[in-house]
Structure 1
Amino acid sequence: MNLKDINTLKTLLSTPQKIVIVPHKNPDGDAIGSTLGLCHYLQNEGHKATIVSPNDYPKFLKWIPGNDSILNFEKENYQSKDRINEASVIFTLDFNHLGRIGQMQPFLEEANATFVMVDHHQEPADYASIMYSDVSMSSTCEMVYNLIEFLGDVSKIDTKIANCLYTGIMTDTGSFRFASTTSRTHEVVADLIKKGAKNAEIHHKIYNANTPSRLHLLGCALKNMVILREFNTVYITLSQEELDTYNYQKGDTEGFVNYGLTLEGIKFAVIFIENKEEGILKISLRSIGDFSVNEFSRKHFSGGGHTNAAGGKSDDSIEATTRYFVSLLENYKEELTA
């Protein structure tokens, strides 16, 4: 974050503001952890801060301190719109394009607030007056820690903030195993633990909250896995019928795509999940090494993200989409088999 933006933000927050904090649609651990961590900080500083989420999020995140105060735009529409309309400042966290917030997009586009973006994804849009964008960061939660430090307030991080930020860093780094985890990440995490983050308890609440139906759905997904050894690639499919059979709940497929990368020699893993309600296939892409799933998804599946983790979508059926996907791999064979 450059010095000009830091000083502008300090000036902006030097007087009490009405603030709305927005994560992306279908928020994950980093989105919820970062918004709640920032919200606690701003409230402690005397601001009226509210989180408005585009929609619901997984049950395994609903223990995080402050969770009960989050407004769900889909279910609390009028109250959410009122908060957006009266906001003097809007923070957008863990996304960099207003297309990532679904039906909230037109309301934010019409808002008169000063926008502040905090995000670590590639190719940010230019809607924010103050922008903290850094693709090298492990997570938006690590960036919120840095933001508080830039404002000279790292000593004000309390136990609630520490637990929120630790959650997002842990989940977005794959429990600190992804390449985006740096020595600085570990320094931040160490400080959060010193400030009260309950690391073992957080890990247990996130990763040991399975239901029998989720494990059965995982078994179905693994049974559907297709291994393409000639391209060092794996893909998984889940139909709406299969989701319904195993009583799918939001967040149940989180992490399924990563199982493909546990196979020896596999560099590229994808999962295609049918969503009849939205009329699309949701696609998650992961890779190991230099193969950019961000570029692959942007070019072929209207998506994007990071070099090794991205999302996308398709309007076609599972059968047509997977055929198209496999047909693309020949163009990337040299990269995938190097």
Structure 2
Amino acid sequence: LVKEMSLPYAILDVDGSLQWGNDAFLEVVTEKKAVRKPITAFFPDITVDKLPEREVDENIHISYNNQDYRVILRKMVSPSFDGSGWRSDDSPLKAWSSRNALIALYMYDETEIISLLKVNKEQKLVSGLLYIDNYDEALETIDEVRRSLLTALVDRKINKYMQSIDAVIKKIEKDKYFFVFQQKYLPYVQSNKFSILEEVRGVNIGNEMSVTISIGIGVDADTYVSGYEFARAAIDLALARGGDQAVVKQKEKIAYYGGKSIQMEKNTRVKARVKAHAFRELVENKDKIVIMGHKIGDVDSLGAAVGVYRIAKTFNKKAHIVINEVTTSLRPMLNRFIGNPDYEEDMFLNNEQVKEIVDLNTLLVIVDVNRPSYTECSELLDYTKTVVIFDHHRQTNEAIDSAVLSYIEPYASSTSEMIAEILQYIGGNLKLKTVEADALYAGIMIDTNNFLTKTGVRTFEAAAFLRRNGADVTRIRKLFRSEIIDYKTKADAIINTEIFREGFAISVCASSEVGSPTILGAQ
């Protein structure tokens, strides 16, 4: 009965050698003299380490001769068997292992089921959003008579690309599109890394600024509504990371494509003004404000925190800044606030102190970081429901989901620059103190390497605003002069540098006599 059973069935010894197989099994392996051969000779996926060691079924999915199978391996133990219990003397099973165990193998053909599941998955509709990042800015760089031509060319590129993946696309605004397509085309667009990004960027009819687009796609959602929400989250992430890229969001995974171009600075301050007004409303409605940056804080995070502190004090709110480790780069600026009669003694708190004062009516402001694990005290995110983020770094998969206000601009040179703009629109007759202007100016200066990298028009406008409020460049430079031991340590590290593969400089930086070796190493 077992020999003629339609289900492929075989028996192995504990070492994985085939002892017997029924007719259906031998048809699958297409070899009649298969006995005594290791099972890996037919199915490489069934290795010895996958054979069951206990009387618990092992399930393995394999492919063989263009067929898909679910293999069940079941260990059979007969402790009383002495090798003479077989009725047929010529049975190959007579050689029962001295360990009194055999392994039964069952094969269930899943080819049709897997094929149907694949077709079902491929026919699922995937939602997507496509935004033109710089629609208005690009049109402003071209003659008015040619603007309609530029718009038409971009539209044509987008529609032609969507036709290649059999997508239905609808223009919902002048610079926004919604589209749906079958999931079977997703590997194609992923393999060519969303070539539409490059195609649109290449459209040029005399426009000084290249047109760039961002794409957000939601995949593997349970419903169409949640699929659209995935696409919304993906496009928000693409824009927050600087645009000119595609983001594919699944339930537990996010993939990024593109993002090669340098994010262009936007000349308009509309967004900064809107964020400033929204932030003012939040400040006015809370009893106290807690500000924190990232671990091993730097001058930019301190400067931004001090700027937010001044906003809180302008509206007569109690405010605290969370700082744990004070590095050598931070200490000169921090010492100007500690012991200063113009500032409260509890202006700076550590983790343990701040946890005692934070409650549901506290506004938590996070500056210069947008990843919860990098914050100075990540536990505070669970202590309050009102969280605000100001940052100039690109967003990653790890994000703070509970933020009620998020102002993340990758084009900005520093968070201090962003806060300097917020200060100009916050209202309330805000007046910066000289030491606060110095802290913000220092944050911009350090993050831009003395205004040499990633600076734009708005960077210098923010610096000019801070200069008008008393920031002194000479005084700031004196604060950040290197100690002689730091200078010598850096010089020794440079002298002992070795070049690896003509592209990597490797050296050892001594840390025995240095206050903050991580800061020195970064410098």
Q: TM-score range by the shorter chain?
A: 0.5 to 0.7
**Does 2:510 match 1:221?**
no
Work out which of the residue numbers 167, 171, 179 in structure 1 matches 2:442.
167
In the alignment, which residue of structure 2 is the partner of 1:71? 348
Matches within 5 A, 1:16-95: 17-58=287-328, 61-64=331-334, 65-67=336-338, 69-73=346-350, 77-85=351-359, 88-95=362-369
Distance 1:70 1:222, change over 3 A: farther
**Does 2:450 match 1:182?**
no
In the alignment, which residue of structure 1 is the partner of 2:511? 243
In the alignment, which residue of structure 2 is the partner of 1:230? 502
Structure 1: any 5+ residue segments left out of the alignment?
259-338
Aligned residue for 1:234, secondary structure, equals strand
Distance 1:4 1:200, change over 3 A: closer
Answer whether contact 1:56 1:72 (CA < 8 A) is retained: no
Deviation at 1:37, TM superposition (A): 2.2
Measure the CA separation in 2 of the matches of 1:18 and 1:201.
Answer: 32
Deviation at 1:181, TM superposition (A): 1.0
Distance 1:39 1:155, change over 3 A: closer
**Does 2:410 match 1:135?**
yes
Matches within 5 A, 1:194-213: 194-206=468-480, 208=481, 210-213=482-485
Deviation at 1:255, TM superposition (A): 6.0
In the alignment, which residue of structure 2 is the partner of 1:119? 391
Measure the CA separation in 1 of the matches of 2:421 and 2:380.
Answer: 25
Deviation at 1:39, TM superposition (A): 0.8
Aligned residue for 1:189, secondary structure, equals helix
Measure the CA separation in 2 of the matches of 1:25 and 1:234.
Answer: 27
Superposition TM-score, scaled by structure 2 size: 0.43
Work out which of the residue numbers 247, 250, 254 in structure 1 matches 2:519.
254
Distance 1:3 1:144, change over 3 A: closer
Deviation at 1:20, TM superposition (A): 0.4
Measure the CA separation in 2 of the matches of 1:32 and 1:120.
Answer: 14
Identity, in percent, stands at 26
Measure the CA separation in 2 of the matches of 1:196 and 1:38.
Answer: 18
Deviation at 1:116, TM superposition (A): 0.4
Aligned residue for 1:130, secondary structure, equals strand
Moved more, 132-141 or 52-61: 52-61
Question: What code does the residue aligned with 1:136 have?
Answer: Y
- Provide the aligned length of Structure 1 versus Structure 2: 243
Answer whether contact 1:18 1:86 (CA < 8 A) is retained: no
Distance 1:151 1:23, change over 3 A: same
Structure 2: any 5+ residue segments left out of the alignment?
1-270, 340-345
Measure the CA separation in 2 of the matches of 1:192 and 1:222.
Answer: 35
Aligned residue for 1:13, secondary structure, equals helix
Larger radius of gyration: 2
Answer whether contact 2:414 2:447 (CA < 8 A) is retained: yes
Structure number with the bigger relative contact order (C-alpha 8 A, sep ≥ 6) is 1
Deviation at 1:130, TM superposition (A): 0.5
**Does 2:364 match 1:100?**
no
Measure the CA separation in 2 of the matches of 1:60 and 1:31.
Answer: 10
Distance 1:33 1:46, change over 3 A: same
Question: What code does the residue aligned with 2:468 have?
Answer: K
Answer whether contact 1:40 1:160 (CA < 8 A) is retained: no
Q: Which has the higher helix share?
A: 1
Q: Any idea what the Cα deviations from partners look like across 1:47-71, whole Å, max 9, x if unmatched?
A: 1010012432326543344345553
Measure the CA separation in 1 of the matches of 2:308 and 2:475.
Answer: 21
Question: What code does the residue aligned with 1:248 have?
Answer: V
Distance 1:127 1:225, change over 3 A: farther
Detail structure 1 runs of 4+ shifted over 6 Å in the superposition: none
Deviation at 1:85, TM superposition (A): 3.7
Distance 1:146 1:14, change over 3 A: same
In the alignment, which residue of structure 1 is the partner of 2:420? 145
Distance 1:72 1:47, change over 3 A: closer
Measure the CA separation in 2 of the matches of 1:112 and 1:26.
Answer: 23
Answer whether contact 1:21 1:50 (CA < 8 A) is retained: yes
Measure the CA separation in 2 of the matches of 1:257 and 1:28.
Answer: 11
Aligned residue for 1:39, secondary structure, equals helix
Measure the CA separation in 2 of the matches of 1:60 and 1:158.
Answer: 19
Question: What code does the residue aligned with 2:290 have?
Answer: V
Measure the CA separation in 1 of the matches of 2:283 and 2:419.
Answer: 15
Measure the CA separation in 2 of the matches of 1:195 and 1:137.
Answer: 21
Measure the CA separation in 2 of the matches of 1:195 and 1:26.
Answer: 28
Deviation at 1:198, TM superposition (A): 1.2
Work out which of the residue numbers 277, 281, 298 in structure 2 matches 1:11.
281
Question: What code does the residue aligned with 1:249 have?
Answer: G
Measure the CA separation in 1 of the matches of 2:434 and 2:487.
Answer: 33
Question: What code does the residue aligned with 1:134 have?
Answer: E
Distance 1:212 1:5, change over 3 A: closer
Distance 1:5 1:197, change over 3 A: closer
Measure the CA separation in 1 of the matches of 2:298 and 2:387.
Answer: 22
Q: What CA RMSD, in Å, does the superposition of the two structures yield over aligned residues?
A: 2.6
